[in-house]
Amino acid sequence: MSASPDTMASATPGPSPATPSWRRFFDDPNPILVKELRTTLRASLFVRFLYLSTGLVALLVVGIGGAAAGGNEAPAEVGQILFQVFFGGALTILCLVAPSYAATSLTSEKETGTYESLVLTGMDPARIVWGKFLASYAVFALVLVAFAPIVGIAFLFGGTSPWHVLIGFYGLLLVLGPAIALGVALSARLRSTRVAILIALITFVPAAIIGASAMSGLGYAARSEWGVSMQGPFWFTEALASRFFELDTFLLLGVLPLYASGMMVWFFLASAIAGVRPAAEDRSTPFKHWALAALAGLLATTFGVTSLFGSGRDAGIGSFVLTGFAGLVVLQLALLFTNEPPLPPRLWELRQEGRGALGKLAGLFGPGAAPTARFGAVVVVAASVGAGLAAALSRHLQHPSWDDHAQADAAIAVVALGHAAVGLFVLMFGAWLRVILRSGVASRVITLSALFALGIIPFFVALLAATGMGSFEESSGVLLVTPVSHLITGGFVMDGKTERAIEVLVPASFYGLLAVIFWSLLEARVRGVGKRVAEQRALRERRAEEAAASRPSFTPPVGEVIAAIAAGAPLDVAVAGGAPLAGVAHLAEPGEAAPRAFALDGASAGGASTGGASAGGASTGDTSTGGASASSASSGGPMGGTSRGDASADSPDEEPDRGDPA
């Protein structure tokens, strides 16, 4: 006895709308994640890599352990050496293989011709990217699990504990996240697997080397401040194991690395999603969300780190240094929003028309070159001023009795003002170049080159002038226009020369004026492009309306014709030149002396009529051969009025990569 379709449908469980999101995640897993895991774990190449890499790390640990055990080191020191060797070897393998493997996740789909099918499945681009990321992350997490038994050799000598091992693997997982996300982002942006792998290696490997060296250097300071005995880049495992609940250790080694890793993963995956998302969609909003989170993290980090200094003087110097380093974040935020096309996507504009006053107000900072530049200006100023205020506020709260608060505040104000002016110049100059050159890469390269030239050329001018004046001090006024002069001026103020704080007005006025000029040029360029696109759209609509007006108005009695044909009435279609003539059908009904004429229109009859025609030319069925295009009828508007193809195809200032700041 077979089950009925209703019974089978009711027996098939499915996630209900009221099911929590975490439960739906397990009930309906990401299909890309499942497919990638099945493909990778069944591949013989992965199995070979697993046992070869595990064997390599084991041989390295055993070899170095045997050599160290034969020396004069204490067993605990040998155990710590093996601990560092194991995690150093695992980190090296991850940095070399993980970005390369992730860089093939989408380029392999493009080279094999399955990428279009993947995009046309209807899955959200975010789901595709997250599936690729989680699959690659899970694969290398499994590799770390395979490595885990090797670290047990270090336990034979002592000097380490299980907490050290757990924290060490936690550090590897933090590094693994940005490595995989970078590879996926490059894979989404590039079409060649070889190029993606090469860029991933030359980008991430040097960054990992610099990061490991910096951690090793911080270990020397930790040994003197916190009494940490372990050496090497993984010294933080001992610090976290012994001082986890201390505020400085928890913030610097617990919260800060987690935040930095999460922000990098977020940024790279947002870039990958923008690369997969169609050009007609809004690509810039995810980056704006990321920028707001980065701004909040910058303020919190500056405030928290400043509060860790023990004395007022140390807090003053630390707040000044942290405000100076905030300029790197300001520069990154300024460059981030210099890759927007002149106009926002057409779909976004159509959705914007139906929104309320609050939505239209938010549209002033939406996609497009000019709105994104406005949003970037707000973020740049907030990051510059906010970092200085957070550092100064933390210092005042922690050390209210320090005598030199005014001096440190003046130095921070000088640095913050310079950061804001230089950041606005970079943002507006780069955005204007993007609109002119129609290339985000070119605009950023030229912007950075101009910034570098403004930092180098004044030094050469001062040197040449010094040869004529005989003194470098007399010719050093030109150095005030360099993009780092506000840092130098802030240093003088911090040393007690508060009268030199007024010198910051020179670079602030110079870069601020340039920013205003390029901002005005950008707004004028965007208005010009928008005006031309509106004129072209109006012209097409007028032509479509004229073509529609030249077509005779038909009210076909389709039902009557079909009923008469079904009754057996003869149907005579007048033809001219072998084609139906204007869709005029002559239907002879019983008892009539002559056939009746009915005007039929194939487009309005939905394809049921015989010999339908469009204005300006004969047609067969519903396909027009002259006059108005069939797309006018199918899209419900004049020639694709519901798509963005009109602007990008006819305007020389727009191209398919719309709304993508990455």
563-575 tens-digit pLDDT: 666 666 555 544 4
Predicted local distance difference test score (pLDDT) of residue 425: 96
User: Mean per-residue pLDDT for 81-90?
Assistant: 92
Nearest to 500 by CA among 520, 480, 516: 480
More confident residue, 97 or 479: 97
Residues 375-397: tens digit of each pLDDT = 999 999 999 999 999 999 999 99
The Cα-based distances of 228 to 151, 220, 224, 513 in angstroms read 21, 9, 8, 51
At residue 65, the pLDDT reads: 81
Which range (21-25, 162-166, 574-578, 596-600) has the least confidence?
A: 574-578
Residue position matching structure tokens 């950008």: 522
d(CA 656, CA 662): 14
Q: What pLDDT does 474 receive?
A: 52
Q: What is the mean pLDDT of residues 180-186?
A: 95
In this prediction, residue 14 has a pLDDT band, given cuts at 50, 70 and 90, of very low
**52 φψ region: left (φ > 0), alpha (ψ -120 to 50), beta (else):** alpha
98 alpha-carbon distance from chain centroid = 20
Q: What are the Cα distances from residue 322, in Å, to 74, 382, 455, 503? A: 41, 15, 21, 21
Residue 202 has pLDDT above 90, yes or no: yes
Residue with tokens 């009109």: 646
Residues in the chain, how many?
662
Concatenating the DSSP letter of every residue in 168-199 gives HHHHHHHHHHHHHHHHHHHHHH-S-HHHHHHH
Higher pLDDT among residues 282 and 59, named by residue: 59
Is residue 157 left, alpha or beta, with left meaning phi > 0 and alpha meaning psi from -120 to 50?
Answer: alpha
Share of the chain above pLDDT 70, in %: 77
d(CA 579, CA 258): 73
- With a pLDDT cut of 90, the percent of the chain lying above it is 47
Question: 418 or 552: whose pLDDT is higher?
Answer: 418
* Torsion, Cα of 425, 427, 429, 433 (10° steps): 170
CA dihedral sign, ordered 515, 324, 232, 175:
negative
d(Cα 609, Cα 314) in Å, to the nearest integer? Answer: 88
Taking 50 as the threshold, does the pLDDT of residue 167 lie above it? Answer: yes
Going by pLDDT thresholds of 50, 70 and 90, the confidence category of residue 612 is: very low
Please report which helix (H) or strand (E) contains residue 582, including its range. strand 579-587
**Residue-level pLDDT at 568:** 64
Q: Which of 181, 167, 173, 164 is nearest to 144 (CA)?
A: 173
Is residue 90 within 8 A of residue 161, CB to CB? The reply is no
3-state secondary structure of 585: strand
Please tell me the predicted confidence (pLDDT) of residue 226: 86
pTM exceeding 0.85: no
Tell me if 311 sits within 8 A of 395, measured CB to CB.
Answer: no
Residue 639 pLDDT more than 60?
no
Q: Could you give the count of Cα atoms lying within 13 Å of 318 in the half-sphere of its Cβ?
A: 23
